[in-house]
Structure 1
């Protein structure tokens, strides 16, 4: 998934835009509350794109790597996961943030009008 989003097009970007349908409604609401509170966690902060109800996340200290060589200057995915758990980040959002962080993404936008990715689960309201 990371390879597809990062390099399949031949262009590398540090921004992802994915459908907000990849988040359960309560987890998208968690992001919205984060934008209103203006209180960043240790590894990301949120902002609102009010024109279409999208929410963006700015990720810090990426890439978040699973295996870090001694002396590396990157953040470990375990360290980030522990902090996100401590900040009560919901599980689906946590997984998507970790994927984005591993791909060295800086901006992740959850947009209701964005393309849905078949490799990610969908959460649609009844």
Structure 2
């Protein structure tokens, strides 16, 4: 994965200085292609994600799809300690089940120690991420 500035890391947020991590983001589903958005809506109800280090779920009475990211941050050093393999191995496993564009966003969030990521048609447009439709 190419090195880009991670839009999930808020450098002006005091919580990072105090060690208070595990934030939550609700971002616009427009950061996904239409095909990717449709696919995760279906996968959230049917996919087995037990070995992928995330759980996905739909939100009742909403079009949003949520992800609970497990064992963050997803960086090589941490993943090797807790899983016995690095990020590239995890990413390959995840992309067998989910669209690469979704996994790319989950990885960016997990590298910033985000615990919950919600894709919502009415969510926040996160500067620095591609926007397909919103």
Q: Does 1:59 align with 2:69?
A: yes
CA RMSD in angstroms comes to: 2.5
Q: What is the distance in 2 between the residues matched to 1:4 and 1:113?
A: 18
Structure 2 residue runs of 5 or longer lacking an equivalent are: 16-20
SS in 1 for 2:58: strand
Unpaired runs of at least 5, structure 1: none
Q: 1:1-126 alignment to 2 at 5 Å? A: 1-2=5-6, 5-11=9-15, 12-37=21-46, 39-42=48-51, 43-66=53-76, 68=77, 72-73=81-82, 76-87=86-97, 89-124=98-133
Asked if structure 2 preserves the Cα contact closer than 8 Å seen for 1:34 and 1:40, the reply is no
Most deviating of 104-113 and 71-80: 71-80
Hey, which bits of structure 1, 4+ residues long, moved more than 3 A?
1-7, 71-75
Query: Secondary structure in 2 aligned to 1:64?
Result: coil
Aligned pairs, number: 122
Once the two structures are superposed, residues 19-41 of structure 1 have per-residue CA deviations (whole angstroms, 9 ceiling, x without a partner) of 11101111111211122215225
Residue deviations 1:68-125, cap 9 Å, x none? 28x73466211211211222x2121111011011112221101111110221101128
Evaluate the alpha carbon distance shift between residue 13 and residue 64 of structure 1 in structure 2; reply closer, same or farther with a 3 A threshold: closer
- TM-score, normalising length from structure 2? 0.76
